[in-house]
Amino acid sequence: MLLGGIEAGGTKMVCAVGDENGNLLDRASFPTREPKETFEDLLNYFKKYEIEALGIGCFGPIDLNRNSKTYGYITKTPKLAWADTDFVGVFKKELNVPVGFDTDVNGAVLGEVTWGAAKGLDSAIYITIGTGVGVGVYLNGGLLHGLVHPEGGHIILARHPKDTYEGKCPFHKNCMEGMAAGPAIEARWGKKGYELADRPEVWEMEAYYIGQAIADYIVTYSPEKVILWGGVMHQEQLFDMVRKETVRQLAGYVHHDAILKDIDNYIVAPGLGDDPGIKGAIRLGYLELNR
Ligand code: ADP
Ligand code: ZN
């Protein structure tokens, strides 16, 4: 069975064809331009294949309410050319196949639950810390949507006692994204993350915010696995610091061996390397076909 997937990002669109077992047979990447040009690139790519369904993991905010007139749209994104853009409808019409649709991070957590580090589990979260922070949530065997979709990158965090930086988020200042995403690190320390590798105070503060956020996600979502990735997590020393900080912030309140005895296997990098997003998109297509 041939399935298509799109990982739709603000800077690039990754697309691939693969099978129902998560094997990728081909992939390509196109810069994100205006919707019309970008859709042309993507449609030309998929028209070379006989896919049975397409899945899209998309930057947001997006409309996931199947009863809404604007279901399958990108809604009020700051990337203005893309605001109020029908994504699903265009591909359904042009490719004439079922089109699955979800957030990029929900796609990624789905990929990890299906084939990666959370394989077979009923619940997991996927946190990406890059240009922004996004959190995909899989709970009770399904992706969480609710009113809109989770926006775990924007939980408000307590400041580190030594942090004088006000925060980068234009809405909240000191939310997770405002304090811990790549641009916040750069604004706080005056250099990009990868130029700060040898400054322990940078990563101690970073781990404080990430650990605090994960502790918040644990007490609210109660995931069986926490998967952590994105450009900032390429500082691999952060993993251990974040694990310790998460345990410290939970302060013994969530009394489970996964946290108290086996945190190394609880907070982990993706099992699918750099592919959870695109493989998850393929899985979204598969699920839509079998809906
Ligand atoms: P995006 O979020 O745009 O999809 P990434 O996940 O690659 O892309 O995140 C980009 C952010 O991650 C940038 O702010 C960049 O400075 C930061 N970053 C990338 N590599 C590293 C690294 N090795 N160490 C620290 N920060 C990094
Ligand atoms: Zn915010």
Tell me: do 12 and 73 sit in the same domain.
yes
Substitution candidate for ligand 1 out of 79, 127, 209, 234 with most atoms within 8 A of CB: 234
- Is the model's pLDDT at 260 over the cut of 90? yes
111 in a domain, yes or no?
A: no
Substitution candidate for ligand 1 out of 192, 228, 238 with most atoms within 8 A of CB:
192
> Does 18 fall in a domain?
yes
How high is the pLDDT of residue 58? 98
Residue 103 in contact with residue 149, Cβ under 8 Å?
yes
Do residue 142 and residue 250 come from a single domain? yes
Q: Which two tokens stand for residue 101?
A: 């649709």
Which token pair is 139? 């709970």
Distance CA 114, CA 230 (A): 20
Mean pLDDT confidence for 144-152: 97
Q: Are residues 197 and 279 both part of a single domain?
A: no
Distances (CA, A) of 220 to 125, 155, 161, 174, 214: 11, 12, 25, 20, 10
Residue 135 in tokens: 């959190």
3-state helix, strand and coil shares in percent for the chain, rounded to the nearest 5? 40, 20, 40
Task: Tell the residue nearest (CA) to atom 27 of ligand 1.
Answer: 232
In a domain, 114, yes or no: no
Q: Does the pLDDT value for residue 266 go beyond 90? A: yes
Q: Are 94 and 136 members of one domain?
A: no
Within-domain flag for 124: yes
pLDDT in tens, 195-208: 999 999 999 999 99
Say if residue 192's pLDDT is above 90: yes
Torsion of CA 271, 277, 281, 286, to 10 degrees: 10
Angle between helices 200-221 and 182-189 (to 10 degrees): 140
Query: Does the structure show a pLDDT above 90 at 288?
Result: yes
Number of independent structural domains in the chain: 2
Please report the pLDDT score of residue 77 as a whole number. 83
Residue 26 is assigned to a structural domain of this protein: yes
| Nearest-CA residue for atom 13 of ligand 1 | 182
Centroid of ligand 2 to alpha carbon of 178 (angstroms): 6
The answer to whether the CB of 189 is under 6 A from ligand 1 is no
For 126-138, the pLDDT digits (tens) are 999 999 999 999 9
CA nearest neighbour of 18 among 203, 272, 199: 272
Q: What is the rounded CA–CA span in Å between residue 29 and residue 15?
A: 6
250 C-alpha to ligand 1 centroid (Å): 27
DSSP secondary structure letters along 72-114: TEE-S-SSGGGTTEE-HHHHHHHH-S-EEEEEHHHHHHHHHHH
Is the pLDDT confidence value at 26 over 90? yes
113 is a domain residue: no
For the CA of 194, the closest atom of ligand 1 is 24
Give the closest residue (by CA) to ligand 1 atom 19. 231
At residue 79, does pLDDT exceed 90? no
Q: Which atom of ligand 1 is nearest to the CA of 192?
A: 16
Instruction: Say yes or no: 246 and 136 in one domain.
Output: yes
Q: Do 27 and 57 lie in a common domain?
A: yes
Residue 153: helix, strand or coil by DSSP? Answer: helix
CA 237 to ligand 2 center in whole angstroms: 26
Question: How many percent of the chain have pLDDT more than 90?
Answer: 99
Q: Is residue 234 in contact with ligand 1, taking CB distance under 6 Å?
A: yes
55, 26: one domain: yes
Predicted local confidence at residue 212, as pLDDT: 98
> Looking at the domain assignment, is residue 115 inside a domain?
no
Could you tell me the end-to-end alpha-carbon distance of the chain, in angstroms, rounded to an integer? 16
User: CB neighbours (10 Å) of residue 83?
Assistant: 14
Position 14 pLDDT exceeds 90: yes
Taking the centre of ligand 1 as the mean of its atom positions, its distance from the CA of residue 193, in whole angstroms, is 7
Residue 99 CA to ligand 2 centre (angstroms): 30
> Is 98 found in the same domain as 11?
yes
Average pLDDT, rounded, for the chain = 97
Task: Using only the alpha carbons of the chain, give its radius of gyration.
Answer: 19
Residue 254 lies in a domain: yes
Tokens of 289: 């076909």
Residue nearest to atom 10 of ligand 1 (CA): 130
Tell me what pLDDT residue 229 has: 98
Same domain, residue pair 13 and 73 = yes
- Ligand 2 centre to CA of 177 (Å) is 6
- pLDDT band at residue 247 under the 50/70/90 scheme: very high
Reported as a pLDDT band with limits 50, 70 and 90, residue 147 is very high
Q: Are residues 73 and 136 in the same domain?
A: no
CATH number reported for the structural domain that contains residue 51 in this entry: 3.30.420.40
Average pLDDT in the 155-173 region? 97
Same structural domain, 238 and 280: no
Note the pLDDT of residue 80: 86
Which sign does the torsion angle of CA 116, 120, 121, 125 carry? positive
Print the domain residue range for 172: 120-268
264 and 136 share a domain? Answer: yes
Pairing of strands 24-31, 133-139: unpaired
